[in-house]
A and B are shown apart, each in its own frame.
Chain A
Amino acid sequence: MALFIVQLLTGLANAMFLFLVASGLSLIFGVTRIVNFAHGSFYMLAAYLASSLAAALPLGPASFYAAVVLAPLGVALLGGLIEVCLLRRIYRAPELYQVLLTFAVVLVIGDAVKFFWGTENRTGPSPPGLSGSVPILGQLFPTYDLAILLLGPLLALGLWWVLHRTRWGILIRAATSDREMVGALGVNQAWLFTGVFVLGTWLAGLAGALQMPRVALTTVMDSTVIVETFVVVVIGGMGSAFGALLGAVLIGVLQAFGILWLPREFQLAIIFILMAAVLILRPWGLLGRPETESGTAGEALRREVGGRLRPPRWVWAGILLALMVLPSLLPTFYVWVLVEILAFALFAGSLQLLVGTGGMLSFGHAAYFGLGAYGAALLMKQAALPMPVAFLLAPLVAAAAALFFGAFCVRLSGVYFAMLTLAFAQIAFAVVHQWYDFTGGDNGILGVWPAASLAAPVRYYYLALLAAVCGLSALWRVTGSPFGYTLRAARDHPRRCQAVGVNVRSHRLLAFGVAGFFAGLGGAVFAFAKGSVFPDYLSMPMSVQSLVMVLLGGIHALAGAPVGAAVYKLLDIVITKYTGYWQAVLGGILVFLVVAFPHGLVGFVQARWARMRASLG
């Protein structure tokens, strides 16, 4: 019983931190409709900043508390700056661009933390006066956690007061339920948005600063906390601060008891299973409101440029010829680089079918790439199938998973669709990561080499080329088929599409399956090229990588995916040669792309081409 109560209190203390971060994210989403991936980065930055300030300030024991107050303010200021300089430009842009821009901020802050504080784990100072433990029913409970348990409800009350008793708070709530209306009432939206962003960032920073003495500070704090926060916010309902409280308590308590009672295979997955269950039963979260129809991903992505440019056949023939000849001219290292590019071209091309043609923004596409890779590895290692058979069956494993997960996802649209794809990808990641007996856990599976007859780099390269050419041609064929046109029709106007006899959900599900299949093929190519598979292949950064490639090429340009994959990989190689801060550079490139080339590289070329032709008559 005592253990139960102490565990419950621990869970509630954790919930207080989750609540602070999640209420900030939820407020920002509610008013600006931006899913802010950088929210976890502000949390991490505040934790590091507070630990340095506590050590540097000359105030004796009080410097700890001064740091806890100052660090969140500093971070909130930075948040305001980012809102004014970057986010303001993209409030009307499609969701994909918003997500990528905030993700660019994640990359830059991540590398900045590494630059200023190093990559080694740090421990923050202990809180003066609150560093011991108090006995509760014979069990020791940290005094600091007890203080947090008292502080948490006070902060929640304060937030309630701001939202319900101040004019500003009432405007925030009004904007959450109807942004246009508040604008029409003559409220200066720009400053309302900035204010909310600063408040939300401050809440994240406060959580980070308060967390500083409790946990080890690591450079992955940002992604850990943002994923948990998404779960909390989605469960509670996007845009609802009190939904965030409910979600945080549920998750905090569930995690605290999960550690005690659940087998480790489930510990990571449990919160995502809860999230998936909530999204399936109540897609808009426990306390949220259903999204209005205008919020579908398809509406936002409808931006066509420059007509439809089809490069003449000789261009394709030339590229193919170059790809046939290249490997015999290049050093082995670059042959493997090309193989990787081919694998990513399939990965990105399949995602483009979903995001570009289908208007379905998936945050979890890496699941199908990774399951293709694991499918290949497991079929060979556990089922003892010959390598070529494993290679050919792997895409089916990915397609089956895509059809299963997709069946739930296609019931939703917009941000909720994106969140559910993320949840399923995280569940798949957690299972692969924890199921040591079958998948090798985080040790991965080693020795996944191609059959002897295909093992020579150039030979494997030709296999990869064959897979990529067949795969991409098939994807393009599908895009131009009646199925592909109908998928675009469903993206442009789902209701109209239903009213010409199309079952939009099952149509989208089929697209999900097709995309899963080709992502899986890319995964299989990748697995045998690397000779090993790791849970990272299914992780969120991998999903984001594929989105970046699609965006680089241009979401509506058919040739965009392979171009995006190639440019991304080559940039990676070139930049890592000169600097250890590849992520920050990538972040900078992303910001530049979103702001300057919203149609991607191929889209840009197409638009130029169309204009040139027009001017020539």
Chain B
Amino acid sequence: MVEGPLLEVRDVWKAFGGVQAVAGVSLRLPRGEVRALIGPNGAGKTTLLNLLTGQLACDGGVVLFKGDRISGLPPERIWRRGISRTFQITATFASLTVLENVQVAILSHQGRSRDLLSRTGRLAREAALDFLKRVGLQDQAEKMCATLSFGDLKRLELAIALANEPELLVLDEPTAGMAPQERLDLMALAVQIVRDRAVTVLFTEHDMDVVFAAAERIMVMHQGRVIAEGTPQSVREDPQVQAIYLGGLC
């Protein structure tokens, strides 16, 4: 029996006021694939990701994860199904230490968020340190999160997103705002981590070097629709993509 796609999106729509941000997007993402979602600013990429992970509700259409409908669920329930994500604007818990940021996420995964009586200090500490080690932050564990450099915050976000051992990882511009070499390094790190655990990845990115280095397949969005999908090579050669998206660059 052939396994169905890990994530399936059927004809989802979303409008803000009069702006149709996502206009009938469908996609099938097989298990284990690393896929990039690209498109010019305002194409609806972030909105689409927010529809998948529940930050926004679809106006129409369904999202299926492992064959079960997840559209309509709140973000916390979607996370519990095994989809984790990072945000375009770095989102961490500023008053906690780096270690505690990851601990909070692991304790949530273990269903212990409502434990009123234990002391947090040692709980899930080893596991949290292990995640930090994977993203290369083990030396910063005790630092206040607010004092981290921008690149380290991006790494921390990745560690937090890994805390529930997700099957699908959604990354919204994971390298935005970083220096070129740092970008490639961070993405290489992310890809290596997910390959080790066969995690499926859907990411948006503006840096084409990062996209072509990391993605197995690429999807192109324009004005709320998917206009092309395929291997990096075929997308690069697609005349429509060149006209609409790369037109100004090539």
Contacts and interface: CB of A to CB of B under 8 A. Distances in A.
Interface stretch (B6-14, B108-116, B203-211, B225-233): B108-116
A486 B109 CA distance: 12
B114 A500 contact: no
Given A482-B107, A501-B109, A507-B114, A488 B120 contact: no
A501 B76 contact: yes
Contacts of B47: none
Contact of B120 (A302, A480, A499): A480
Given A483-B114, A498-B74, A304 B120 contact: no
Interface residues of A, number: 30
Contacts of A488: 93, 95-96
B181 interface: no
Contacts of A481: 115-120
Contact of B76 (A304, A307, A493, A498): A498
B79 interface: yes
Given A482-B123, A485-B104, A499 B53 contact: yes
B113 A492 contact: no
Given A485-B96, A495-B87, A501 B108 contact: yes
B144 interface: yes
Residue with the highest number of chain B CB atoms closer than 10 Å, among A304, A493, A504: A493
A496 B105 CA distance: 10
B116 A483 contact: yes
A503 B121 CA distance: 22
B96 A492 contact: yes
Interface string B79-95: 11000110100011111
A304 B109 CA distance: 27
Contacts of A234: none
B105 A500 contact: yes
B171 to A, nearest CB: 12
A485 B99 CA distance: 12
A484 interface: yes
B195 to A, nearest CB: 23
B163 interface: yes
A482 B94 contact: no
Contacts of B146: 304
Contacts of B74: 498, 503
Contact of B91 (A480, A485, A496): A496
Interface string A85-120: 000000000000000000000000000000000000
A477 interface: yes
A277 to B, nearest CB: 25
A514 interface: yes
A502 interface: yes
Interface string B110-137: 0011111111110100000000000000
B201 to A, nearest CB: 16
Interface in B155-206: 160, 163-164
A478 interface: yes
B55 interface: yes
B103 interface: yes
Interface residues of B, number: 40
Interface in A207-261: none
Contacts of B100: 485
B117 A477 contact: yes
Contacts of B116: 477-478, 481, 483, 514
B76 A484 contact: no
Contact of B115 (A482, A503, A514): A482
Interface string A444-481: 00000000000000000000000000000000011011
B44 interface: no
A502 B93 contact: no
A493 B119 contact: no
A495 B96 CA distance: 16
B96 A496 contact: no
Contacts of A482: 104, 107, 112-115, 118, 120, 123
A483 B115 contact: yes
B224 interface: no
Interface in A497-520: 497-504, 507, 510, 514
Contacts of A495: 55, 75, 87, 91
Residue with the highest number of chain B CB atoms closer than 10 Å, among A304, A491, A496: A496
Contacts of A540: none
A498 B75 contact: yes
A456 B87 CA distance: 61
A502 B96 CA distance: 16
Nearest to A299: B94
A289 to B, nearest CB: 13
Given A486-B107, A503-B76, A480 B93 contact: no
A344 B75 CA distance: 39
A489 interface: yes
B108 A486 contact: yes
Nearest to A556: B95
A500 B53 contact: no
A501 B118 contact: no
A502 B95 contact: no
B240 to A, nearest CB: 34
Contacts of A484: 120
B17 to A, nearest CB: 13
B170 to A, nearest CB: 10
B215 to A, nearest CB: 23
Contact of A500 (B104, B117, B119, B121): B104
Contacts of A485: 96, 100, 103-104, 107, 120
A496 B161 CA distance: 10
B95 A480 contact: no
Residue with the highest number of chain B CB atoms closer than 10 Å, among A492, A496, A500, A507: A500
Given A483-B116, A489-B96, A489-B104, A499 B79 contact: yes
B250 to A, nearest CB: 35
Contact of B93 (A483, A493, A507, A514): A493
B113 A486 contact: yes
A488 B146 CA distance: 14
A502 B113 contact: yes
B115 A500 contact: no
A500 B118 contact: no
Given A485-B103, A496-B87, A503-B76, A302 B94 contact: yes
A588 to B, nearest CB: 31
A506 to B, nearest CB: 9
A502 B164 CA distance: 12
Which 8 A-B pairs rank lowest in CB-CB distance, beginning with the nearest? A496-B91, A500-B105, A492-B93, A501-B79, A498-B75, A489-B93, A482-B115, A501-B108
26 contacts: A302-B95, A477-B116, A480-B121, A481-B117, A482-B107, A482-B112, A483-B115, A488-B93, A489-B93, A489-B101, A492-B94, A493-B92, A493-B93, A495-B55, A495-B75, A496-B91, A498-B55, A498-B76, A499-B53, A499-B76, A499-B84, A500-B104, A500-B108, A500-B160, A501-B109, A514-B116
Given A304-B95, A477-B117, A499-B55, 6 more contacts: A482-B112, A493-B94, A495-B91, A500-B79, A502-B76, A507-B113
Interface of B: 53, 55, 74-76, 79-80, 84-85, 87, 91-96, 100-101, 103-105, 107-109, 112-121, 123, 144, 146, 160, 163-164
Interface of A: 302, 304, 307, 477-478, 480-486, 488-489, 491-493, 495-504, 507, 510, 514
